[in-house]
Structure 1
Amino acid sequence: MHKLIVLYPEPTDRAAFEAYYREVHLPLCAKLPGVQSISYSLGITPPGKGPYFGVFEASFADGAALGAAMSSPEGRAVEADVANYATGGATVITYPATAFPVG
């Protein structure tokens, strides 16, 4: 499994970020070839109280699948769209993940 994490610092306008993110950006992400799961959280800290406003996580079968997704036309559209809402920028982290059994 390979993970893609995006950390979003505080945006200029939280409401505008949230509306655009939910209505435009997440549907673009859902079209990424090979994406297995997507989760996100917004407003994870009160305004001005933490380094991050939001976090996004997507899972892929492996690094090759993630690379292919981000190199695809859909991946390029996702990447180009970030400037339309993330006024605070974004930090992208990718890594291989190993599941650990629980229970």
Structure 2
Amino acid sequence: MAIDAATVRKVARLARIAEPEERLEPLARELSGILDWIEQLNEVDTDGVEPMTTAIHTPLPMRDDVVTDGGDPAKVLSNAPRSVNNFFVVPKVVE
């Protein structure tokens, strides 16, 4: 799939990315190369191959779902830089 400078200009405008005019042609060649490589992946025979989420199959350990009292607040807050009434105090980020 070939991409030309006009397509790169249009996509850059839609993405609100400012690209100088002299950069459009090299970007078009680079993007065309990437799309050509992606098209090569379509040639790979994947029939009978199951999808993989990870290279190592590791089942999650199961634990009993037990209701607890939440632990000791003093232990939980022992590393907090600041706490008030058993709550973490964090800096205000929105006015």
| Same fold by TM-score greater than 0.5 | no
Normalising by the residue count of structure 2, what TM-score does the alignment of the two structures yield? Answer: 0.22
Q: Which has the larger radius of gyration?
A: 2
Q: TM-score, normalised by structure 1?
A: 0.21
The answer to which structure, 1 or 2, has the higher relative contact order (CA under 8 A, 6+ apart) is 1
